[in-house]
Chains A and B, each alone.
Chain A
Amino acid sequence: MKDMQCADAREWIPLLASTELDPSVRQEAEAHVAACADCRREADLVALLMATRSEPPAGLSDSIRVAVGRGRRARSRPWWGFSAAAVAVLALGIGVLSSRDVSPIAVPVYAADTGEGGLWLSEDGLVAGAPALDGLSDEALEQLLSDLGSGGAA
């Protein structure tokens, strides 16, 4: 009978500190722990674990919120934004290749200094030498496309 009581009590010992434990169960478990030295040792160990549990570092929740917000904004960029960026890169490439006999080339203000001016696919998949379009606003991207359409190859 004692074993059964111990088994029941040990089920509830970790929840003795919880407010969700049914009061009658708590009373029985506490009475058992008070009378049983072995279960009392287990209750002491559980209390020690509870008292020494780690707390999260300050700033963790803020950091999570920032990371979630950043991820959300990156994902919510409109699909045509990516398409427009791809078109812009392609158009820029075509513009550069097809304008060898036309000088001077009007370089849009958005284009970064490409150094050698060639297009290379680097190991990480980035197109080296292409202007950085990722940070452009929608308006700036439209302006770039407009410039490419009207002045780039003229």
Chain B
Amino acid sequence: MRDDDRWGHLPDEELVQRSRAGDEAAFGVLVERHHPVVYRMALSMVSDADLAFDVTQEAFVKAFVALGRFRGDAAFKTWLLSIAANEARGTLRKRARRREQSLEVVGPVVDGGRDPEEQALERTEAERVRRLIQLLPEKQRLSVSLRVEEGMSFKEIGVAIGSSEGAARVNYFHGIRHLRELME
């Protein structure tokens, strides 16, 4: 019997308790339940599928290690997302350092604009909106993604991205307005 079938009905709190007791299968259900949202958030931050894969994996490993310190003040999902956000920021910092180093070696890169083929490929509105959302500042982008794609409350979003509930709300509305302007 699959772990999801056996424990898929259990709430996160109980799965966390079992996981703390060393039950890897219970943690596996949490992985199955939450890896899509963690992956999407990571992808929204690092804009690279391979990096998002690594960030997601590392976030779960770190969460499992830190389960003993999880006090349950926030929901497991938002706590996990805050770990993933930190992991993604660390990954971005490392990538920026590597880029700086390689730029020192290679010299300045001249931006010749977007490739015409790439522009031709981006024919649909779907492709356009995915590119434009990447232009939003990080907290606006995350607030929009977590609200729209995950249906999270502003309080949950605030915990996940490390801001207040009010700031998450403002970031969401600014982000949506900004995105609408970019689309029009």
| Chain A residues near B (Cβ < 8 Å) | 10, 14-15, 17-18, 20, 41-42, 45-46, 48-57, 60-61, 63-65, 67-69, 71-72, 75
Contacts A/B (CB < 8 Å), 12 sampled: A18-B151, A42-B176, A45-B176, A51-B126, A56-B39, A57-B39, A61-B31, A64-B31, A64-B57, A68-B61, A72-B24, A75-B65
A-B pairs with CB below 8 Å: how many? 86
Given A53-B149, A72-B64, are A45 and B53 also a contact pair (CB < 8 Å)? no
| Chain B residues near A (Cβ < 8 Å) | 22, 24, 27-28, 31-32, 35-36, 39-40, 43, 49, 53, 56-58, 60-61, 64-65, 125-126, 129-130, 133, 144-145, 147-149, 151, 173, 176, 179-180, 183
Cα separation A48 to B176 with both chains bound (whole Å): 12
Q: Which of B32, B40, B173 contacts A54 (CB 8 A)?
A: B40
Cα separation A51 to B124 with both chains bound (whole Å): 13
Q: Identify the closest chain A residue to B150 (Cβ).
A: A53
Are B53 and A60 within 8 A (Cβ)? yes
Q: Identify the closest chain B residue to A73 (Cβ).
A: B24
Cα separation A143 to B36 with both chains bound (whole Å): 47
Are A45 and B31 within 8 A (Cβ)? no
Are B130 and A52 within 8 A (Cβ)? yes
> A64 to nearest B CB, angstroms?
5
Q: Which of B64, B126, B151 contacts A52 (CB 8 A)?
A: B126
Cα separation A64 to B87 with both chains bound (whole Å): 15
**Chain B residues closer than 8 Å to A42, beta-carbon distance:** 176, 180
**Chain B residues closer than 8 Å to A53, beta-carbon distance:** 40, 145, 149
> B87 to nearest A CB, angstroms?
13
Are A48 and B126 within 8 A (Cβ)? yes
Given A61-B31, A67-B60, are A20 and B151 also a contact pair (CB < 8 Å)? yes
Are B56 and A68 within 8 A (Cβ)? no
Are B27 and A68 within 8 A (Cβ)? yes
Given A14-B151, A71-B65, are A48 and B129 also a contact pair (CB < 8 Å)? yes
Are A57 and B40 within 8 A (Cβ)? no
Are B183 and A45 within 8 A (Cβ)? yes
Cα separation A42 to B144 with both chains bound (whole Å): 12
> B28 to nearest A CB, angstroms?
5
Cα separation A53 to B151 with both chains bound (whole Å): 13
Cα separation A17 to B151 with both chains bound (whole Å): 9
